[in-house]
Chains A and B, each alone.
Chain A
Amino acid sequence: MTEPPAVPVMQARGLVKRYGHVTALDGADFDLMPGEVLAVIGDNGAGKTSLIKALTGAVQPDEGEILLGGEPIRFRDPLDARRRGIETVYQDLAVAASLDIASNMFLGREIRRPGPLGTIFRMLDHKRMREESARHMAELKIGLRSLTQPVESLSGGQRQGVAVARAVAWAQHVVVMDEPTAALGVKESGQVLDMIRRVRDRGLPVILISHNMPHVFEIADRIHVQRLGRRVAQLKPGDHEMAEVVAIMTGALRVDASDETVVADQGAARAIGLS
């Protein structure tokens, strides 16, 4: 496979974020190419979460810059990032449980009725919101019997489907998914992975944060390995064994300048079955 000569959708250069004595990000770089699913993996404390928070406006980096479509950009808060077309799906099924699907899809961005009913009486256009929700859900092939049932009556996978559909509906540039399958069973995880594929097929790049290596290998086009606050490798799943990637993540293997893996810690490498 040859790299497409495209401008990265999103980049970060030399991000630093310190919390007191702790350096969460220590000069981290990041590149997201158009139309790809990029998995971000790393051990606990590797700075995965801080990196994603910086990219989605939840924290402001102390140093370094973020570029969106080649242009430097600073997000004041998550809302700011959302306005710029970066939508995030959070791991703990971030939907309002007692509201119906359409209300959740349009939460914070409701459509009002045209005319005085909307402008004076602030009446919502339930019908239009339902129709548009139905369209978005259908595009992601999320089968639901009714859009008027509260989301708490849905299965975990369907609920995550609502969250994904909402993100896709509003994202112009990037969809970020933070452990979207962590709370789900095997079958439901499969449904969410299918959804991620459909999002990519629509041309929207996806950043997937996951601990689940089989999922990462199943769906990612590229893998960003985060370790000790920086990016230590960018890999293609096809070029490497799962154990190798885990070894890089834990520091048993190192990737040198020519993209060859080098054993950094003999004992650790042997322990996970690499010779």
Chain B
Amino acid sequence: MVALLVACVFFSLNNEQFLSGGNFSLIIQQVMVVGTLAIGQTLIILTAGIDLSNGAIMAFGGIVMAKLAADGVVPPLVAIALGLLVCAGFGAVNGLLVTAIPLPPFIVTLGMLNVVFALTHIFSGDQTVVNLPAPLTALGGTFAIGDTMVTYGSLLTILLFLIFAYLLSQTAWGRHVYALGNSPEVARLTGIRTGRLTVGVYTVAGLVYGIAALLLVSRTGVGDPQAGQTDNLDSITAVVLGGTSLFGGRGLVVGTLLGALIVGVFRNGLQLMGVPSIYQTLITGVLVILAVTVDQLSRRRIS
């Protein structure tokens, strides 16, 4: 939070454009896809898991939606629904492999990353899908707040963050996710069906990746098989910057939103300053290590 404010003050001193409503709207648009992916990532990391396959699943979901709709195989809305379903399905497979065999989430999702990446290219024939029907790009539409244009997609992203903040803090399901991340054994002994819960978390995360796919398609206007290749790591960055522990059981989805915004603000601010993009990546990397260091040190002081 402090980092975000400091960064905003710094960039606004450097460039008067930075503080404009239009620029903030742009930042949100730039972070909404990764931000949405990071919601699913937060859920999984809270259970002490990790998901390396989320960017790939999103790319595949996007291609499914775009291709089915553009080819006119099914009506556009059905194509969207099928895309969401496919993403949820991949999430469920991840969850089942993690619980039923069981395998470490890192390995499962690493394998799934490759499988889904390949499927995306096979299914699309390596072609970008263009000429999408209107419903697929509807979320890219804008409305005005004052003289700032806001996309419906940004609104949906914010809404998703609110929904998951509610689910995690106000429902038994949320409490159980934290308990599972603290200790699967404790959760099991208190009567929580940990297997079912884990599969549920991965499936819900998959569905959220599907929504991210729709956001991506609506923002770019095409179905791109190359999309989202570094988004898995970017989403982990957002989660970690947001203060969620990679060991599970600790963290907030609101933190993830802040984490995503911090990355967005830095990239945007540095861009406005004319810093080349490779240095932006460098700074993001340093930022992650710095954030986790501060987090660790402050935690040590408490205990």
Contacts and interface: CB of A to CB of B under 8 A. Distances in A.
A112 B173 CA distance: 12
B301 to A, nearest CB: 13
A264 interface: no
Contact of A78 (B172, B173, B189): B189
Contacts of B171: 122-124
A99 B182 contact: yes
A32 B170 CA distance: 41
Nearest to B302: A153
B178 A112 contact: no
A99 B191 contact: no
B190 A108 contact: yes
Given A122-B172, A124-B170, A124-B171, A107 B190 contact: yes
Given A108-B191, A108-B192, A123-B170, A94 B186 contact: yes
A: interface residue count bin? 20 to 34
A97 interface: yes
Nearest to A152: B303
A79 B172 contact: no
B82 interface: no
Contact of A96 (B191, B249, B302, B303): B249
Interface string A149-167: 0001100000000000000
B187 interface: yes
B175 interface: yes
Contacts, number: 60
Contacts of B250: 98
A109 B190 CA distance: 9
Contact of A82 (B173, B175, B182, B191): B191
Nearest to A103: B175
A80 B173 CA distance: 21
B34 interface: no
Contacts of A95: 186
A99 B179 contact: yes
B183 interface: yes
Interface in A56-84: 78-79, 82
B187 A96 contact: yes
Interface in A107-126: 107-110, 112, 121-124
Interface string B175-215: 11011011101110111100000000000000000000000
Chain A at the B interface: SS class: loop
A82 B189 CA distance: 10
A196 to B, nearest CB: 20
A99 B178 contact: yes
Interface in B238-296: 249-250
Nearest to B173: A122
A109 B171 CA distance: 12
B175 A124 contact: yes
A123 B173 CA distance: 10
Contacts of B249: 96-98
A91 to B, nearest CB: 12
Contacts of B179: 96, 99, 107
B41 to A, nearest CB: 18
A144 B165 CA distance: 28
Nearest to B248: A98
A94 to B, nearest CB: 5
B204 to A, nearest CB: 14
Given A94-B186, A95-B186, A124-B170, A109 B178 contact: no
Contacts of B303: 152
Among A107, A112, A121, the most chain B Cβ lie within 10 Å of the Cβ of A107
Contacts of B185: 94
A103 B189 CA distance: 15
Given A95-B186, A97-B182, A98-B249, A110 B175 contact: yes
Contact of A112 (B172, B183, B186, B191): B172
A124 B168 CA distance: 11
A90 interface: yes
Contact of B172 (A94, A110, A153): A110
B189 A90 contact: yes
B109 to A, nearest CB: 24
B182 A94 contact: no
Contacts of A90: 189
Contacts of A103: 175, 178
A64 to B, nearest CB: 25
A96 B178 contact: yes
B159 to A, nearest CB: 15
Given A96-B249, A97-B249, A107 B175 contact: yes
Given A95-B186, A99-B178, A107-B179, 14 more contacts: A94-B189, A96-B178, A96-B186, A96-B187, A107-B176, A107-B187, A107-B190, A107-B192, A108-B190, A108-B192, A112-B172, A122-B170, A124-B175, A152-B303
22 contacts: A79-B191, A82-B191, A90-B189, A94-B189, A96-B178, A96-B187, A97-B183, A98-B178, A99-B175, A99-B179, A107-B176, A107-B187, A107-B190, A107-B192, A109-B191, A110-B172, A110-B175, A112-B172, A122-B173, A123-B171, A124-B170, A153-B302
Q: Which 6 A-B pairs have the closest CB atoms?
A: A108-B191, A110-B172, A96-B179, A108-B190, A96-B182, A107-B190
